[in-house]
């Protein structure tokens, strides 16, 4: 394996960015899904007016080959949004690093 100094400045920045993102706690794969549903109370306005339906948030993801929806309590919404966004950033950086490595492989360059 070649030393870090043999990497381009852009690749070194990407590795640095990846370390910064991974240093922060929380990383979650999945998509946030917002649903608006009717409750079980017949007297609630959500039964007559679709605009008054109750909002709930779920994390949609595939676990063990099956699609799952995990309820996100309102108090956890911001935290889970940060975790899923962080996963997206990690994935972007890893994809870009992979493209750089592929180009080096194609040029047979260390």
Long-range CB pairs of 19-23, under 8 A, 24+ apart, other chains included: 21/86, 21/89, 21/90, 21/93, 22/90
Measured distance CA(22)–CA(14) in Å, rounded: 12
Q: What is the pLDDT of residues 49-92, one digit of tens each?
A: 888 888 899 999 999 999 999 999 999 999 999 999 999 999 99
pTM value > 0.85: no
């Amino acid at each position: 394996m070649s030393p870090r100094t043999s990497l381009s400045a852009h690749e070194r920045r990407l590795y640095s960015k990846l370390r910064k993102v991974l240093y922060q706690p929380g990383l979650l794969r999945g998509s946030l899904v917002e649903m608006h549903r009717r409750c079980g109370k017949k007297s609630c306005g959500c039964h007559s007016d679709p605009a008054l339906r109750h909002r709930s948030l779920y994390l949609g993801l595939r676990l063990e080959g099956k699609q799952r929806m995990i309820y996100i309590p309102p108090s956890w919404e911001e935290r889970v949004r940060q975790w899923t966004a962080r996963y997206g950033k990690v994935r972007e950086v890893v994809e870009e690093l992979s493209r750089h490595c592929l180009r080096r492989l194609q040029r047979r360059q260390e």
